[in-house]
Structure 1
Amino acid sequence: MRSVNEEWGIEVDKVNGITTDGGANIKGAAKEVYGVNKHFSCMDHILNLIGSKALGLHGSKPRPSVTFFRKSEVATSELVKLQIEGTNKTENDAKRLINECRTRWSSGEAMCERFLELSDPVGRTLMKVSLDKSSRSVPPDMLTVSELSSLTDAQTLLRPLTLTTKSLNSAKTVFISKIIPMINSMQSRIQKFQPSTPVGFNLKQTLLDDIKKFFGNIERTSLYAAATLLDPRFKRVPFNSDVAIAEGMGYIAKLMNERMNAVRCEAEAEAETNRIFGGLDDPEQVAEPDDDSDDLLASFD
């Protein structure tokens, strides 16, 4: 980092903040070079960690069925046929199961959502394929009613994380003032949801614990709080803590005072400089150089 700063002529004191992923090595380097208060962890990376953990614990049930449909042309054709049967839909209108991408946790939530949406035709297709003796592939068992209920709870709880991730990824520029409102909105939606299964209760608590772990003090982080308070779209509304609001406003007042003092000092210095040296531009006050003098500085006396 120091070599990059030197190469591009970047002064460390003029860097207001640096955003990195959650790796301990890169975080440690950023804090050492720029200071602890100037380092910010990438929110999208943190959401990916939280979502991947939750999905790995409670959202893996549909994977065998999805994999089977992706590999079996017979099963896929039957799934399409059941969707358009008795309707005006065409094959292009029929929906397919979504396979997850391991590097994008939100695709796992999309997989669960689509599986729940197509659970009825998926179950009928698996039953038909399993009864077909000519089929070489052995389909997986369809999820039970209890497992579908647990998956519904998991998908509903993961939905706020997906919406937050999409909001971050869709914006060309992510403003720091949006972080506190998005985190608190996401947390509020999760808290309000009432699961109906043990899996849902456990997942809800896991998500809330992880959000508190990574974002618990975000309202009391000076730059986040100041940016949110100064944004006319939000101001004080997204905050849960009055103490955080007071601290944020105090931080803003401190920055304003420092800036005003700096401007005042600059103005006073400029005035003093003009007072001392302002007359030198007057031709009558500029002495003619004495070419015969041995003192090279005599003309400045």
Structure 2
Amino acid sequence: MPPKRLQQDLRTRWYSSYYTIQSLLAEKRALCAYTAEYDLPATLTATQWDLLEKTVQVLAPFEELTREVSSSSPSASDVIPMVQVLKRLLSRPEEADEGIRTIKGTLLEAVRRRFTHLETEPIYSVATLLDPRYKHRYFSDAEASRREKDVLLAEVMKMKEVIRRTRAGASEPAKKTAQVEAASKSKLGNIFDEIMEESTPCPEPATTSARVEVQTYFSEPTILRSDNPLLYWKVNQPRLPSLAVTAAEFLCALSTSVESERLFSTASNIIDEKRSRLTAEKAEMLIFLKKHLPLMLQDKAV
């Protein structure tokens, strides 16, 4: 067998515990054989191995979402849907919960406590409404959705005044056909689909041009969750100009600070003892190219 090492558990990284248990389960057969051959005093029983397998299943959605929000693409609009999916997943009873009900209950309470006021923060709520993949479908109740729609309408009316003079010569392109997201094979994807199907658009009377624009946007189907929301607004900007400008303002915010912290690692990789004569101006240019050139090439390809 090829040599392998068990994952080290770090107190400052919760997911290291998940990877540690995963590595133990992957080497379960070898560990049990080694324990029996050398008659080790400390061993894991069959019940403990079973609890480790169930613990990994509970922590798997957290690890999957952590990897997703730690990349460079997720924005603030992904936070509320992900929290709602976690709540739904942890509160759903299953037959395999024997022995881990306390773990699921503790995790559910922690998620609720940490994200109690999430839907009242405009940076998250308005960004979620302006994301064509989610819109108003992932709010906890209809009252919260209605309240944040009013906040969105106020933001759109502000933008309406800014671009009023530039709308006259704009021509309306062909409407992009929105698609309903297909069912995903993962457990998290099924929860996303389930919440999406439960919510239905609520028509509201249109009295102003800004309200008409907002109502038109919410009356259309959502796009695939795998699609790029920024590309959607690029295509539909002539048709929904005020919403597109507002979306650019809110969707540019990242969901976590992980990508910002990676800038320090990028700087340390560029500026080292072998490049001690690198000026600050050149270093800044290299860091900018390192972080933005892939995005520029991707936009050019699209």
With structure 2 as the length reference, what TM-score do the two structures score? 0.49
Flag the structure with larger Rg: 1
With structure 1 as the length reference, what TM-score do the two structures score? 0.49
The answer to which structure, 1 or 2, has the higher relative contact order (CA under 8 A, 6+ apart) is 2
